[in-house]
Amino acid sequence: MKTSFQIREFWIHIIVWACLFSFPVAITLSEFGRFEPKLPLRILMNLSLVYINYLILVPRLLLKKKIFTYILYSVAVLVLINVSAQYMFPKPPIPFGRMPDMDLSEMGPVRFMPRAIMGATSLAFFLLGGVLGLTKDFYKRDRISKEKEAWRNETELQFLRAQLNPHFLFNSLNSIYSLVRNKDIEAPEAIITLAELMRYMLYDARQELVPLEKEIQYIKNFVSLQLLRLSNSEKVKLRITGDYNDKKISPLLLIPFVENAFKYGTDFKGVTDVDMQLEIQEDQFSFYVKNKIGVYRKDESNSGIGLENIKSRLQLLYPEEHRLEITKENGFYKVQLELNLS
């Protein structure tokens, strides 16, 4: 679905080009008393130069820093268009020449002037497409940066409170209390784990990016505290593959999926079936969560920061660099998230 911005941009392009190209048509009619049939074709060729650069070469090559490839394709496009023009317009179309029936071979070096003008015109339109593409990217990056900052300022406290789930905290404290009361040797470690988890939420999570290693450790701590209250910890699996050193990620991006998996994948008896997989291949990060749908499900609007909020964060933090797929199949709830961490 096109946004209002895209629709407005479309009509601006239509109006600007209509006004711009009405001038050569008007000049042709006023000075020569007839319409040059090949002029619209030449106009379309110039337009193609603008939009090939604007919509294809700039976003796919130049903005991705493939400079050499961009130059090669640019030269190829310009040569192709101008060679095509040589065959399609053996005589320069009006208004490039006032005397289209004149034998240009008899005019000496001047005979190349119309072709030079046409070549310069093609180059100008091609460069215009580049300027438009770079300008659009600049304003897009600026808009996203401002949206990120506004989102960060307006939702930081709300986000941290949402992550500091009181039910999870109370359950963890009750579980730790039981361990302490029974003089279980795991009690001190559980207290340290809870302290590390809260420290990460309240301090590390304030940063724009955190080491992926810390985010994974946070998930491990969260899972270990959840296991304290479960009767079947053997059905909870967390597998991590790949090298996650020197990788960074937006903090607390993954935990809502893990939190929901435990919250909605646990029945009245405390039986939970949760399978989590994290895979890192160079800059490509994949996160998979599958949980059995519990007998009783609460209103999902109260789950953590909510699915829509997660999607908004992904769109702001990883625009065009993520893929999120959520499905329900055979009694299981599945989440597949892929990120480009470059």
Using one digit for the tens of pLDDT, what is the confidence trace for 200-258? 888 888 788 899 999 999 999 989 888 887 767 778 899 999 998 889 998 888 988 98
The residue to which tokens 């808009």 are assigned: 143
Mean pLDDT of 121-130: 88
Neighbours of 207 (CB within 10 A): 12
Domain with CATH 3.30.565.10 in the chain: 164-340
Half-sphere exposure of residue 159: CA atoms within 13 angstroms, side-chain side:
19
| CA-based nearest residue to 186, from 150, 151, 233, 147 | 233
pLDDT of residue 72: 95
pLDDT of residue 107: 47
Supply the angle between the helices 212-227 and 166-181 in degrees, to the nearest 10. Answer: 60
Q: Mean pLDDT, the chain, as a whole number?
A: 78
The residue to which tokens 């919509």 are assigned: 55
Q: For the domain made up of 164-340, give the CATH fold.
A: Heat Shock Protein 90 (3.30.565)
Q: What are phi and psi of 209, to 5 degrees?
A: -135, 145
* pLDDT tens per residue, range 130-175: 998 898 888 888 888 888 777 765 565 455 445 555 666 777 787 7
pTM: 0.55
CA distance 3 to 8: 9
* pLDDT tens per residue, range 34-65: 556 666 777 788 888 888 999 899 999 998 88
Both tokens of 267, joined, read: 């029945």
The residue to which tokens 């997989």 are assigned: 277
CA distance 78 to 49: 8
DSSP bridge pairs for 291 = 274, 333
User: How far is CA 201 from each of CA 98, 141, 163, 205, 222, rounded to the nearest angstrom?
Assistant: 75, 28, 8, 5, 11
pLDDT bucket at 16, cuts 50 / 70 / 90: confident
Neighbours of 129 (CB within 10 A): 24
The bridge status of strand 236-241 relative to strand 274-281 is: parallel
Note whether 262 and 303 are within 8 A (CB): no
User: How far is CA 23 from each of CA 37, 120, 121, 282, rounded to the nearest angstrom?
Assistant: 15, 18, 15, 54
